Amino acid sequence: MDYKRIQNTRVLVTGGAGFIGSNLCEDLLKYNNEVVCLDNFATGRVENITEFLNHPKFTLVVGDIRNLEDCKKAMEGVEIVLQQAALGSVPRSLNDPTTTNSVNISGFLNVLIAARDEKVKRVVYAASSSTYGDSPNLPKVEDVIGLPLSPYAVTKYVNELYAHVFAINYGLDIVGLRYFNVYGRRQNPNGAYAAVIPKFTMQLMAHETPHINGDGSNSRDFTYIDNVIQMNHLAALWDRKSNLSGAKPALSGVEGAIVFNTAVGDRNDLNMLVNYLKQYLSEFDPAIANVEIKYGPNRQGDIPHSLASIEKAQNLMGYNPSHNLQMGLKEAVKWYWENLK
């Protein structure tokens, strides 16, 4: 898909060995960028970046965003920062709010301080749809949010507040991307906090019964990784001075930080999701069509429905999602079958 991409630039990807970060590193290397990856491998995996380790324009810095010196070391000579490092998962944050707070707030603050001190041109950071909290409004529009429903959601909201404060006080150029249920190649299917799509995919491939939280009617704006990559490129290169006329940035005036929903602008419920997964996986193994699905209680801290308005990103940055759920799932399922079966 044709859109403006970062090229010939030194870029730092924090959390670059993670699911989203490693996909960003891979894509950036295609366009002659110097890519610095900062990761402590708490959730990132070395196998996600193995194919880049010997690339002449790829540098791995093993470090932690909770350490300011690690951030400053990784940021030397960098023009653009794509801040992906975070501790995700609502259930993880409920079980261990202290660590989630330390990584997502203290770590994020260190990234902003280092970016300010190293005079980085722009920071694009991973915000979250969890910031909408208990707001019942659908679709979700950037400047209307509710109260957070989990420690994780609190941390991602605080990120937006800090971004605003650094923008208006230090002149740091910051753009936030509120990710909506991102999925795709390299997303880890294992562990207690695995996301639903890779987890269900691996269970179905093993003929194991997936368990849906609730009755399957909860819906999400599932967003394929290629749409997220596009938004990071667009946000990094967006000419905000000539494109903010008439816009109402969330949490700020025109001179502050700004956030964009990063999604498809469509929602599918969990029953539909599982049906798609069974359909596409059955092309590799017909027996998967007969795997039973079971249901359980709703998960604490979850919202029933999520749907993004993507008008702001479309109007200001020319965002045009390349993959809807069906297209993305077909590619994701093929990747899991070929790489993890």
Active site residues: 152
Alpha helices in 30-150 (DSSP H): 68-74, 90-95, 97-101, 108-117
- In sign, the C-alpha dihedral spanning 282, 203, 153, 235 is negative
Which tokens belong to 41? 């491998």
Q: Tokens 């709010």 appear where? A: 97
Per-residue b or e along 100-116, where b marks 16 or more CB atoms closer than 10 Å to that residue's CB:
bbbbbbebbbbbbbbbb
Cα dist from 333 to 3, 194, 324, whole Å = 26, 16, 14
Cα dist from 64 to 97, 125, 204, 285, whole Å = 18, 16, 35, 42
Distance CA 293, CA 208 (A): 9
Distance CA 15, CA 21 (A): 6
